[in-house]
């Protein structure tokens, strides 16, 4: 598939994230602006394998820029992990003479894209996941919105916690990455933040709760990243150590929903535009990345190899501020 591209496919894959629609819109509109034909692929790789592709018009992405979720739908596809599935996916693209694919999703979705690149499709990855767990970019689409959602929820929980003199343990998403817990915890002044990247000491947390209580503090909030384990278990252990009543809230999927924040919508639009520009510039095997407040294109391989580091300085500061 050498030469100039004419036809681009776009799909969303893995977990949905607020802002994905703004990225889809940007790919469709910038592509059409430059005279390309854009196909929307429904339900990620699962839909691609089963031929669920549709040409997108300018109007097909009207009114979605600030809508949460993904209008293209998303899915996880076990078949795409097999050589037979990858061949079927490639054949569906070939059938419609699609020369390039923009994949919006997490690193699993990027791996799927690389199997198509190996068959000659030009690919660009756009990092879209609330977890902010992809190396090579400061932010992924959806993270900022999810952090804002957690902060909003925790501020409501704090109201009831202070009325009842209670310790609340709030479990947040992030898979193996503590970024949501760290950013939201710092933003809302959580008393402790438990993340999978850094060992924690429940005796020390319990002592901190007791010290706070002695100072007259009547409530505490502890944020637990899901990668640490169950918030219920943390709650039980803290109650056993401190004697304080604990209440547990698992925020769950509400963290995935809602309109994207302005920051996510802007990053998503810029990444969608950059993805198309990359393809117009004959690039392939690239990802879009947000670095120092600028969206750039860089090798897709930069998403792998290293684990995204947690900002240790911010983590230490959060501990210092919650003495
Ligand atoms: P999120 O971080 O939001 O979960 P993700 O893209 O990492 O997003 P995954 O479930 O890991 O989510 O991957 C999405 C899809 O990408 C999988 O269902 C599968 O179809 C495809 N995929 C993942 N890994 C591979 C792989 N090694 N080879 C081929 N396809 C893959």
Q: What is the pTM of this model?
A: 0.96
Question: End-to-end CA distance of the chain, in Å?
Answer: 60
Q: What is the pLDDT of residues 171-188, one digit of tens each?
A: 999 999 999 999 999 999
Q: Binding site for ATP: residue ranges?
A: 15, 76-77, 106-109
Q: What is the pLDDT of residues 277-297, one digit of tens each?
A: 999 999 999 999 999 999 999
Which residues, at least 6 apart from 216, have a Cβ–Cβ distance to it below 8 Å?
none
Distances in Å between the Cα of 99 and the Cα atoms of 48, 108, 115, 128, 308 are 14, 21, 14, 22, 31
106 C-alpha to ligand 1 centroid (Å): 7
Residues of CATH 3.40.50.460 domain(s) within the chain? 146-257
Q: Is it the case that residue 306 has pLDDT exceeding 80?
A: no
* Per-residue b or e along 212-233, where b marks 16 or more CB atoms closer than 10 Å to that residue's CB: bbeeeeebbbbbbbbbbeebee
CATH T-level topology, domain 7-142+260-304: Rossmann fold (3.40.50)
Q: What is the pLDDT of residues 236-276, one digit of tens each?
A: 999 999 999 899 999 999 999 999 999 999 999 999 999 99
Residues of CATH 3.40.50.450 domain(s) within the chain? 7-142+260-304
Q: What is the pLDDT of residues 109-154, one digit of tens each?
A: 999 999 999 999 999 999 999 999 999 999 999 999 999 999 999 9
**C-beta of 105 in contact with ligand 1 (< 6 A):** yes
Closest CA to 41 of 17, 70, 15: 70
110 C-alpha to ligand 1 centroid (Å): 7
**C-beta of 80 in contact with ligand 1 (< 6 A):** yes
74 C-alpha to ligand 1 centroid (Å): 11
Q: What is the pLDDT of residues 202-234, one digit of tens each?
A: 999 999 999 988 888 878 999 999 999 999 999
**C-beta of 73 in contact with ligand 1 (< 6 A):** no
Q: Binding site for Mg(2+): residue ranges?
A: 107
Q: Give the ligand 1 atom nearest the CA of 133.
A: 2
Nearest-angstrom CA–CA distance, 251 and 258: 14
CATH T-level topology, domain 146-257: Rossmann fold (3.40.50)
How would DSSP label each residue in 113-129? HHHHHTTT-EEEEEEB-
**C-beta of 178 in contact with ligand 1 (< 6 A):** no
Closest CA to 44 of 92, 5, 1: 92
Candidate of 11, 14, 116 to mutate for ligand 1, largest count of ligand atoms within 8 Å of Cβ: 14
Query: What is the residue whose two structure tokens read 């070939």?
Result: 94
Q: Is it the case that residue 78 has pLDDT exceeding 70?
A: yes
Both structure tokens of 28: 């469709």
Q: Binding site: residue ranges?
A: 15, 25-29, 76-77, 106-109, 129-131, 158, 166, 173-175, 189-191, 215, 217-219, 226, 247, 253-256
14 C-alpha to ligand 1 centroid (Å): 6
pLDDT of residue 166: 82
pLDDT of residue 2: 54
**C-beta of 176 in contact with ligand 1 (< 6 A):** no
């Amino acid at each position: 598939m050498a030469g100039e591209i004419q036809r681009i496919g776009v799909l969303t894959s893995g977990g949905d994230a607020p802002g994905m629609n703004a990225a889809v819109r940007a790919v469709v509109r910038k592509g059409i602006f430059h005279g390309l034909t854009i196909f929307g692929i429904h339900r990620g790789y699962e839909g691609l394998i089963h031929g669920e592709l549709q040409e997108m018009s300018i109007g097909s992405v009207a009114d979605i820029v600030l809508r949460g979720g993904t209008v293209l739908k998303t899915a996880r596809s076990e078949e795409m992990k097999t050589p037979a599935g990858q061949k079927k996916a490639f054949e569906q693209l070939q059938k419609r003479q699609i020369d390039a694919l923009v994949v919006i999703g997490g690193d699993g979705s990027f791996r799927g894209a690389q199997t198509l690149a190996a068959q000659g499709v030009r690919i660009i990855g756009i990092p879209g996941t609330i977890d902010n767990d992809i190396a090579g970019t400061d932010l992924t689409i959806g993270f900022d919105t999810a952090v804002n959602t957690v902060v909003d929820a925790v501020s409501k929980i704090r109201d009831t916690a202070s009325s009842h003199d209670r310790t609340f343990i709030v479990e947040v998403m992030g898979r193996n990455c503590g970024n949501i817990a760290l950013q939201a915890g710092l933003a809302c002044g959580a008393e402790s933040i438990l993340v999978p990247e850094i060992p924690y000491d429940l005796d020390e947390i319990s002592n901190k709760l007791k010290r706070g209580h002695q100072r007259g503090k009547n409530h505490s909030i502890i944020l637990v990243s899901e990668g640490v384990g169950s918030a219920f278990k943390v709650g039980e252990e803290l109650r056993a150590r401190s004697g304080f009543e604990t209440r547990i809230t698992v925020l769950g999927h509400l963290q995935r929903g809602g309109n994207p924040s302005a920051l996510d919508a802007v990053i998503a639009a810029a990444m969608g535009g950059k993805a198309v520009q990359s393809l117009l510039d004959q690039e392939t095997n690239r990802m879009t990345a947000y670095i120092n407040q600028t969206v750039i294109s860089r090798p897709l391989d930069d998403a792998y190899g290293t684990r995204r580091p947690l900002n240790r300085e911010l983590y230490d500061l959060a501990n210092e501020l919650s003495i």
